[in-house]
Structure 1
């Protein structure tokens, strides 16, 4: 099997989980290679996502590493199965690879949670709102780049409506609801779009009102993607230099706690819808 030059985030994560299994067994890559009858370079390439691995090989590795967590082993083995190219691959060499990694991550997610305090979650944006957001990017994007990013964002939203529905839970601060990207009419349509999306049984939209006071997280957008087991969860953060994907246990615990606290500060769904409706009336 040829060595990959540009593994995706999912392939990197699979490799990282294999490395964690080995390290929990107290083995170096050289010791693992000797135990498995492989070359050390093969072990290293598997653990960096550069070499493909089958579900059978994952199970063999887990057996040799004496991993007792069958659910985790099954979940890692499940990461090896998909061979077809996802829709996001049509944007390869057009958009940054991290955006494609995000779409792949969502595609395989079991539950999606997000919190925004000053902007609208990407999966909830209208086309017009998304386009205005990308027009504000620094450094400035060219018109074709704006359209590519806009169409990509809208295509990502299909994850909310596929047959095997994924629960999506968004916490939005009231401040974000008052933002007027593109002017009053685009803002009005965006809020109406929120109300419409909130009618879907798998979509939950909660609002933190101004009078809730302070909140954790320093206002940073948080996107939490649940995997088949908690160890395979991922946090995505938007940072000034681009997208960051986090999966260390301490990081997952931190952002689960932050999201839980933000949810506790929010209005219930009925009250959130009423607040969104009242803001629409002011536009």
Structure 2
């Protein structure tokens, strides 16, 4: 990816005043990946967040407004991998809980839900909602991202944690998370399709939640 430089430096170095090693690793992984598979159980995945939504999420963990603003800017800059010259393929499975979790108030949430519908118009982005009625699945409470490399053995799993995020590269662990994501996708509703008129798919559920706010 053009955003990652061969000498190991990248755009993320501009945020060294704020972000730590885990965030830098995340940005570099995203910039070097060809595909992303992300699952958000309680909040919308960062790659799909609006500025207002991201700011509200980050303000909940960062009391310093200036630092929260820098974190927000960093998160939005990461999203450029979806729309650059060589955009990555992004598949996201979002639990219905994330649609109902009120982040930043009704206006912010309506903007965020609208963003999910709009970003799904990109040919490289697929968004599915895992509905309540699908029940419990082993992975549905875990937030994770699978970064696709040029070959399966180069894939990486990122597990975000408030104090100690993990990066997994072990083959068996990669295979486990890949299978979990595919199962989540199978159990989720049909992907958001702005042209869809189905009575029960990801788009209709997002619209239902948005209009109820």
- Would the TM-score normalized by the shorter structure come out above 0.5? yes
Deviations 1:200-249 (A, max 9, x none): 11000001111111112250101000111111110000124232111011
Task: Confirm whether residue 151 of structure 1 aligns to residue 81 of structure 2.
Answer: no
What's the counterpart of residue 196 of structure 2? none
Which has a greater percent of helix?
A: 1
What's the counterpart of residue 203 of structure 2? 273
Structure 1 stretches of 4+ with a deviation exceeding 6 A read: none
What's the counterpart of residue 197 of structure 2? none
**Take 1:108 and 1:218, find their aligned partners in 2: how far apart are those partners?**
27
Instruction: Quote how far apart the aligned CAs of 1:83 are.
Output: 2.4
Instruction: Quote how far apart the aligned CAs of 1:84 are.
Output: 6.6
Number of residues of Structure 1 aligned to a counterpart in Structure 2: 201
Task: Confirm whether residue 132 of structure 1 aligns to residue 62 of structure 2.
Answer: no
Residues 224 and 92 (structure 1 numbering): CA distance in 2 closer, same or farther, change over 3 Å?
A: same
What's the counterpart of residue 216 of structure 1? 138
- 2:115 aligned residue (193, 196, 217): 193
Is the CA contact (8 Å cut-off) linking 2:19 and 2:71 kept in structure 1?
yes
Task: State the SS of the aligned residue for 1:281.
Answer: helix
> Structure 1: which 5+ runs fail to align?
1-80
**Take 1:85 and 1:101, find their aligned partners in 2: how far apart are those partners?**
11
Deviations 1:5-35 (A, max 9, x none): xxxxxxxxxxxxxxxxxxxxxxxxxxxxxxx
Instruction: Quote how far apart the aligned CAs of 1:93 are.
Output: 3.9
Is the CA contact (8 Å cut-off) linking 1:216 and 1:261 kept in structure 2?
no
Higher RCO (CA-CA < 8 Å; seq separation 6+): 2
What's the counterpart of residue 86 of structure 1? 10
Instruction: Quote how far apart the aligned CAs of 1:94 are.
Output: 2.3
Residues 90 and 256 (structure 1 numbering): CA distance in 2 closer, same or farther, change over 3 Å?
A: same
> Structure 2: which 5+ runs fail to align?
194-200
What's the counterpart of residue 252 of structure 1? 174
* Counterpart mapping for 1:47-196 below 5 A: 82-83=6-7, 85-137=9-61, 140-196=62-118
What's the counterpart of residue 160 of structure 2? 238
Task: State the SS of the aligned residue for 2:165.
Answer: strand
Residues 143 and 245 (structure 1 numbering): CA distance in 2 closer, same or farther, change over 3 Å?
A: same
Larger radius of gyration: 1
**Take 1:152 and 1:210, find their aligned partners in 2: how far apart are those partners?**
32
Q: RMSD over aligned Cα, in angstroms?
A: 1.3
**Take 2:53 and 2:35, find their aligned partners in 1: how far apart are those partners?**
25
TM-score, normalized by length of structure 1? 0.69
